[in-house]
Amino acid sequence: MRHDIDNILNCLAAQKSIDFSGYNVESLVQLLDKRIAYTNKQSYKDYLAYLQQNAEEPDKLISALTINVSEFFRNPVVFDYLAEKIIPGIIQHKCTAQETTVRAWSAGCAAGEEAYSLAILLNNIIEKTQSDITPRVFATDIDRKILQKAAEATYHFNSIKNIQYKLLKKYFLAGKETFRLKEYVANIVSFSCHDLLDKRTLVPPESVFGNFDLVFCRNVLIYFKSEYQDIIFNKLYSSLALNGFLILGEAELLPSRYAKYCTSLSDLHIYHRITS
């Protein structure tokens, strides 16, 4: 069975240059089995043939193997902390240093909820401080289908239930059953497809040079085996600007070998890069 699963993953890697071998095996097998059942195939071998013969199936399989659950302002206390204790300091520093842009990366952005939450927060704080700083949020995911949804910037109530009413009114247009983010704030975010395990790049190519003030990678690392988590940690750390902040998910901790390079702030899994 393991051999059949490897054959499917190798085929996907050959077709899409995306390597799923670093994912936790148990959850991967469950998700793969679900996809096989959905396509009415009777065995891994049948499914492999189907994957090879159907041009649309590789992207569908990638979507099936990724878990895209997210919501705006997920774990709101983290965003409150950023809004009160971190982002105003970043903006202040930019103004003093006469820098023009604040740069952020949402790595594993799902349908854009986290990236747009950050865009709203940055826009709000920049407006309040009346500073001339431009916010830029690069948002990446491995799943092209979810990125298409992200670009639509339209959400059902479930995704936006954590948003304060005044922010909802300010930044969204209400439709019949959905809420659409206003264009000027949606435009702060650029989406692109990027595999966090891609060895050829340290930062999303669209961002050109990384040097991020804020890097969010929340609820992504939990799906990887520990040696692959290390590859991703290296990438995230080196993409941070000196004095930048890395924000991980509730169940994710920066390995202790980074202790001399980053300090941990509060117990919210926010880390501050303190050495170059």
Ligand X SMILES: C[S@@+](CC[C@H](N)C(=O)[O-])C[C@H]1O[C@@H](n2cnc3c(N)ncnc32)[C@H](O)[C@@H]1O
Decide if residue 248 touches ligand X (CB under 6 A): no
Decide if residue 230 touches ligand X (CB under 6 A): no
Decide if residue 154 touches ligand X (CB under 6 A): no
Cross-strand partners of 263: 272
Question: Which amino acid is residue 168, in one-letter code?
Answer: L
Residue ranges of E strands in 167-211: 172-174, 178-181, 189-193
Alpha-carbon gap, residue 109 to 102, rounded angstroms: 18
Nearer to ligand X by C-beta: 68 or 123?
Answer: 68
Give min distance, CB of 181 to ligand X, in A. 16
154-156 sheet: strands from edge to edge: 154-156, 178-181, 172-174
Nearest to 83, CA basis, from 17, 28, 153, 164: 164
Q: Which of 94, 103, 136, 218 binds ligand X (CB under 6 A)?
A: 218
Give min distance, CB of 252 to ligand X, in A. 10
Decide if residue 239 touches ligand X (CB under 6 A): no
Q: Which of 8, 117, 136, 141 binds ligand X (CB under 6 A)?
A: 141
Give how many residues touch ligand X by CB under 6 A.
Answer: 21
Task: Please state the φ and ψ torsions of residue 197, each to the nearest 5 degrees.
Answer: -95, 0
Strands 154-156 and 178-181: antiparallel
Q: Which of 67, 202, 241, 265 binds ligand X (CB under 6 A)?
A: 67
Decide if residue 159 touches ligand X (CB under 6 A): no
Q: Which residues bind ligand X (CB under 6 A)?
A: 66-70, 74, 108, 110, 113-114, 141-143, 146, 195-197, 218-220, 249
